[in-house]
Amino acid sequence: MVATRDAVDKLVMGRDLTPYPERLVKSTPNSPHVLIVGAGVTGLVTAWVLLDRGYKVTILSNGFANFGKQRLTSQIAGALWEYPPAVCGSHTDTVSLAHSKRWCMTAYHAWDKIAADPIVGQAAGVRMMEEIRDSGVRGFRHVGTGLVGERDVEKSYQVGDAYEVLSPIIDTDQAMLWLTSLVLGKGASTVTENIADDLLDLEEGLLERFGADAIVNATGLSGSTVAGDKTCYPLRGALIRVINDGQDFPKVEAALTISADAALDGEIIFLVPRNDNILLIGGVAQPHKGTLDMTLDDPAIVRMRQRAEKFLPALKNARLDEDYPLAQGLRPCRGKNVRVEREIRRRPGADKSSRIVHNYGHGGSGWSLSFGCAADVLDLIEDALRGDEPVPMAESGVVVCPSCHVHIRSK
Ligand X SMILES: Cc1cc2nc3c(=O)[nH]c(=O)nc-3n(C[C@H](O)[C@H](O)[C@H](O)COP(=O)(O)OP(=O)(O)OC[C@H]3O[C@@H](n4cnc5c(N)ncnc54)[C@H](O)[C@@H]3O)c2cc1C
Interacting residues with ligand X (CB under 6 A):
37-43, 61-63, 72-74, 76-80, 194-195, 218-222, 225-226, 237-239, 329, 331-332, 360, 362-368
What is d(CA 23, CA 30) in angstroms, rounded to the nearest whole number? 16
Asked whether residue 106 is marked as a ligand-binding residue, the answer is: no
Helix (H) or strand (E) holding 50: helix 41-52
Using Cβ positions, the residue closest to ligand X within the complex turns out to be 40
Helix (H) or strand (E) holding 47: helix 41-52
When binding is defined by CB under 6 A, the residue of 55, 81, 83, 360 that contacts ligand NAG is 360
Query: From the CB of residue 192, how many other CB atoms can be counted at a distance below 10 Å?
Result: 11
223 scored as a contact of ligand NAG (CB under 6 A)? yes
Number of residues that bind ligand NAG (CB under 6 A): 15
Do 34 and 215 meet the contact criterion of CB atoms below 8 Å apart? yes
Q: Which does 353 bind (CB under 5 to 8 A by kind): ligand X, ligand NAG, none?
A: none
> What sign does the CA torsion over 330, 124, 128, 319 have?
negative
CB of 89 to ligand X, least distance (A): 13
Calculate helix-pair angle for 41-52, 172-185, nearest 10 degrees. 30
Asked whether residue 331 is marked as a ligand-binding residue, the answer is: yes
136 scored as a contact of ligand NAG (CB under 6 A)? no
Calculate helix-pair angle for 94-116, 366-386, nearest 10 degrees. 110
372 scored as a contact of ligand NAG (CB under 6 A)? no
CB of 133 to ligand X, least distance (A): 12
60 scored as a contact of ligand NAG (CB under 6 A)? no
CB of 240 to ligand NAG, least distance (A): 28
> What sign does the CA torsion over 223, 101, 168, 163 have?
positive
CB of 168 to ligand X, least distance (A): 10
Helix (H) or strand (E) holding 208: helix 199-210
Do 142 and 295 meet the contact criterion of CB atoms below 8 Å apart? no
What is d(CA 379, CA 158) in angstroms, rounded to the nearest whole number? 46
CB of 219 to ligand NAG, least distance (A): 4
- Restricting to residues 226-285, name those near ligand NAG by CB under 6 A: 226, 228-229, 232
Q: Binding residues for ligand NAG, per CB under 6 A?
A: 198-200, 217, 219-223, 226, 228-229, 232, 358, 360
